[in-house]
Amino acid sequence: MSVGVDYVTFNVILDDIVYPDGQTRMGVLGGGGPQTAFGMRLWAPRVGLDAGVGRDLPPEVRVWLSACDVDSSGLHVSELATPRAWQTLEEDGRRVQVWRVPGQVLGVQLRRSVERLPQAYRRAKGFHLGVHPHEGESALVADLKALGAVVSVEVFRPADHPMSDAQVRALVSGPDLFSPNLEEAASMLGERTPEALLQALVDAGARRVALRMGAEGTLLAQADNPERVHIPAVAVQVVDPVGAGNAFCGGLLVGWCETGDWALAGKYGAVAASFVVEQVGVPVVTPAVQAEAQRRLAGLRERRL
């Protein structure tokens, strides 16, 4: 039983990946939750993962959780299958996802609520969740904020079509932190420059925005501060970018909660993302990895932004 958790993220999906050259890798730990947990755990000792899983959950998942010292009391084990999907990657960077479990199973396993959280998780400082842009889960965001926590939101896919001003406001004004990538932001607001997208999100009611731009880094904005900050990506060898945005968001949330410095929080996020892109799957948090994270953070802090 958990004695206390400071940061919480949600959901586990097993990814069966098909690469452009036809090679495959099956059962890769994904779904955003583990990657976000890595980004949190890199900087904070008490992290929990809340997820619906089946008895078919590979033992390697619990091994990873234990190795990273991520609390697993939020895993809700049932007779239903663990969420699983094909991920087909194309040469141009596109990714096509096809679910491998029935929709009604997904509805149960991916459901999130305060009522389902272990008691220890309800005292967390911060929660991060990925949402569909057309749904937003504003009620869940409000419930989590009512616990006294900081709530961070990212969208996990582009919008199906440009959203109305009211729809965008409903999505971005609830959470304390909002972090889309360029494609996601443009799908919501229409094609604009990164700076214009950032400003539009602030104008729509977002308090703090981190606009992720892949290799080009991240643009940060705060509603109560006219300064816009660019955080460069950490220079590493990119093997697989999947999950980097999730890890960024985990680091960003911890950085903001622990330091109150938005630019520094962005650097926490950039460092977390840099580890995820270096391999397929989710890295393990070890003392050596945390020491390297501090080195990379120091390098970013020395750069003029």
With tokens 């104008």, the residue in question is 203
Place of tokens 């996020």: 269
CB 244 within 8 A of CB 276: yes
Q: Please indicate, yes or no, whether the overall pTM of this predicted structure exceeds 0.75.
A: yes
Q: How many CB atoms lie within 10 A of CB 4?
A: 11
**Residue 210 in contact with residue 177, Cβ under 8 Å?**
yes
Report whether pLDDT(286) > 60: yes
CB 217 within 8 A of CB 230: yes
**Predicted pLDDT at 136:** 77
* pLDDT interval class at 239 (50, 70, 90): confident
Q: Is the dihedral of CA 78, 12, 37, 127 positive or negative?
A: negative
The candidate with the shortest Cα–Cα distance to 246, out of 216, 283, 219, 221, is 283
**Residue 257 — φ and ψ, nearest 5°?**
-65, -35
| Residue count of the chain | 305
- For the residues 111-115, what does the mean pLDDT come to? 96
Average pLDDT, the chain: 94
Q: Parallel, antiparallel, or unpaired: how do β-strands 24-30 and 47-54 relate?
A: unpaired
pLDDT (0 to 100) of residue 3: 64
* CATH node for 7-300: 3.40.1190.20
pLDDT of amino acid 305: 54
Mean pLDDT lowest among 7-16, 95-104, 165-174: 95-104
pLDDT tens, residue by residue, 36-79: 999 999 999 999 999 999 999 999 999 999 999 999 999 999 99
pLDDT at 31: 86
Rounded Cα distance, 54 and 253, in Å: 29
* Separation CA 297–CA 277 (nearest Å): 16
- Residue-wise pLDDT tens digits, 240-285: 888 899 999 999 999 999 999 999 999 999 999 999 999 988 999 9
Phi and psi, residue 236, nearest 5°: -140, 170
pLDDT at 71: 97
Kindly tell me if the per-residue pLDDT of 113 is higher than 50.
yes
